[in-house]
Amino acid sequence: MSQDQEQPLIAHLVELRNRLLKSVLVVLALFLGMFYFANDLYLILVQPLSVLLPDTQGQMIATGVASPFLVPFKLTLVLAVLIAMPFMLHQVWGFISPGLYQNEKRFAVPLLISSTVLFYSGILFAYYVVLPLAFGFFTMAGPDGISFMPDIANILDFILKIFFAFGFAFEIPVATFLMVLSGLTTVAALGEKRPYIFLGCFVVGMLVTPPDIISQTILALPMYALFEGGVLASRLIRKPATEGEQPDATDNL
C-alpha cells in the first residue's frame, strides 16, 4: 500500500473514531442524567404488570443479591442507547454519505428518519398494547393456589425482548423498500407472495408473543399492514441511470 493510499485510510479511521467517541459520550451523558431516576424508570416500565398484581409490594421479588442495583442500572443504560439512537444514526450518516451516489442520498435520509420513527413506534405499541395483554394472560394462566411473584430481572429481560421484537418488526416497510431498491425483488413478485407473507406474519406472531390468539393477531396484523406500506412506498422507486455518476464527496455532515 502506497503512502497516498495510507493517508485517506488513516483519515477515515480517525473520523470513525471521533464519531464513535461522540456517540459514546452522548450515551454516557444520558445515562448519568437518568441514573438518579433509575428506580422510578423501572417502576414506570413495569406498570403494565404492577397494576395487575393484587399487592405490588412483595409481589415482585429480587432473587439476586445485586439485582436491586443492577436491574435499574441495565434499564437506564438501554434507555440511554435508545434515546441516543437518532444521534448515532446521524453520525453513521455523516461517515458514509461522502461515498454515496446522489440517487442513493435521495433515499438515505428518508429511510434513516422513517426507520427511527418506526422503531420507536414499535416500542410504544408494545408498551401500551402488547404488554398489558401479555401480562394479563400470564397473571391469569397459573393454577389456583400458586402465588405469582415474578423476579425483577426476568421482568426486565422479558420486556426488553418484547420491545426489540416489535421495534424490529415495525422496520418491515424499510426492509421491503430496500429489497426492491437493491433489486433483490420486485413489487410484482411481492404482490404474488402476499398469501405466504400473510401466513408468515401469523407464524412470527405465534413465536414471539404469548400463546393466545389475541396477542398473535395484535402483532401479525400490524406486520402485514406495514408490509403493504413498504410495497406501496416501493412503487415510488425509479431506477436512475448511473452511468458516469460519481459519489458526491462535498456533502458531509
Tell me the three state secondary structure of residue 151: strand
Query: Is the predicted pLDDT of residue 17 greater than 50, yes or no?
Result: yes
Q: Look at 6-15, 182-191, 200-209 and tell me which has the smallest mean pLDDT.
A: 6-15
Q: Look at 4-13, 112-121, 242-251 and tell me which has the smallest mean pLDDT.
A: 242-251
pLDDT band for position 58 (50/70/90)?
very low
pLDDT tens profile 72-92:
999 999 999 999 998 988 888
Torsion sign (Cα): 82, 87, 93, 96: negative
Query: Is the predicted pLDDT of residue 40 greater than 90, yes or no?
Result: yes
Tell me the three state secondary structure of residue 115: helix
Query: Is the predicted pLDDT of residue 135 greater than 90, yes or no?
Result: no
Measured distance CA(161)–CA(76) in Å, rounded: 16
Measured distance CA(57)–CA(41) in Å, rounded: 17
Overall average pLDDT of the 200-228 stretch? 80
Query: Is the predicted pLDDT of residue 101 greater than 80, yes or no?
Result: no
